[in-house]
Amino acid sequence: MKDYEMWKEEIRKKVLANLDYSKETANEEVRELIRECISGNIVLKTWPVQERQLLEEDIYCSLRGWDILQKLLDNEEVTEIMVNGLECIFVEKAGNIEEYCEKFSSEEKLRDLIQRIAAGCNRTVNEASPILDARLENGARVNVVLNPVALNGPIITIRRFPKNPITMEKLIAHNSLTKEVAEYLKALVKAGYNIFVSGGTGSGKTTFLNVLSQFIPGDERVITIEDSAELQIQGVSNLVRLESRNANTEGCQEISIRDLIKTALRMRPDRIIVGEVRGAEAVDMMQCLNTGHDGSMSTGHANSAPDMLSRLESMILVGMEMPLNAIRKQISSGLDIIVHLGRLRDRSRKVLEICEITGCEEGEISLHKLFEFVESGEDER
């Protein structure tokens, strides 16, 4: 008797052969066709109902869903999915990484899934352009790396975000910050301070930026600029969301973060929120902060608040040749507050420090630490 995977592949091929490609086939029609193929098979008719339903669902997910990743994407506990070629799949739950029991049966299926991800966001990924940053319909962030860059096969990394946006109350409940700090940050956002959120990978920068945006007055015009749209701005009706675009072989020109920032300045924004600054766009971001767009926000990777200032200096130098002293004056004039986040040994994410930029003295940017997280001991974690 054929095993489950062989039957799954056989029915899948039969469904594909019977699809009408001259029209758009609805999802329910695909499900009905799968049921007909299963019920028309003499062997599969003898299977228990639950096994046939499982087979139907798995085949449907391979055709219209995300194949074996669908169960993980539907699981609210999973925050990160890491596909390391055909070898293995790892998932992150509650800050812990564990290996997933299933694998892709062939590289063809894995590549087919990658092409559907790319097509869903109107982007291209192939050997000529082997890196893709995209997002799924549910808002999850996807990074894809193909050969020849990825030596052990196609790599997919998916970052899932909660369906219900994290609120400041939830962060307080998780001991990410105190109520006093939360009230202080709320006042800063409402007052229109320019805030930069820094931290390492996975420290929760985007989530924290979403939380801060909940305090933006509802009557202001906000423009968000991102590589791949992840921000979930709540309570702002006058909201414009912009997303960058890579160049492709079909003749579409690249539209960079820098291009979008320049365009945003002509769209009458009250506040501009840049999802992440990681390169020469830091030049344009600083110009935004220095041209009257109070209350603007962004994020960046760094090990501490002072390190974030050094990284900003380096990124601005990449985008424009100008004296370091002039760069530091621009940063100190444009930025008001740096909120630095971190991920601790117990896997918890916390606000580690909040610093105020007080000016530029003797060629150095002055930082005044307002709040700092200090470990007072250890518990069972």
Q: Which domains are assigned to the chain?
A: 1-64 (no CATH), 69-162 (3.30.450.90), 168-372 (3.40.50.300)
- The confidence score (pLDDT) of residue 249 equals 58
Q: Which of 271, 266, 314, 315 lies closest to 289 in space, CA to CA?
A: 271
Residue 143 CA to residue 44 CA, distance in Å, equals 38
| DSSP state letter for 153 | S
CA–CA gap between residue 319 and residue 61 (Å, rounded): 44
pLDDT beyond 90 at 65: no
More confident: 51 or 199 = 199
Is residue 324 packed enough to be buried (19+ CB in 10 Å), middle (13-18) or exposed (0-12)?
A: exposed
pLDDT at residue 337 in the model: 97
Query: Which range has the worst mean pLDDT, 73-87, 195-209, 249-263, 265-279?
Result: 249-263
**What 3-state class would DSSP assign to 198?**
strand
pLDDT at position 1 = 43
Q: What confidence tens digit (pLDDT) does each residue in 212-257 have? A: 999 999 899 999 998 877 888 888 899 999 988 776 656 678 888 8
How confident is the model at residue 251, as a pLDDT?
Answer: 63
**pLDDT at residue 356 in the model:** 97
Per-residue model confidence as pLDDT tens digits over 124-163? 888 888 998 888 877 788 999 998 899 888 999 998 877 7
| Alpha carbon distance 185, 338 (integer Å) | 11
- For residue 46, the 8-state DSSP code is G
Residues in a beta bridge with 81? 91, 158
* Cα–Cα distance for residue pair 241/315, rounded to 1 Å: 24
Partnered with residue 379 across adjacent β-strands are: none
- Taking the model in full, what pTM does it have? 0.80
CA 161 to CA 205: how far, in whole Å?
Answer: 12
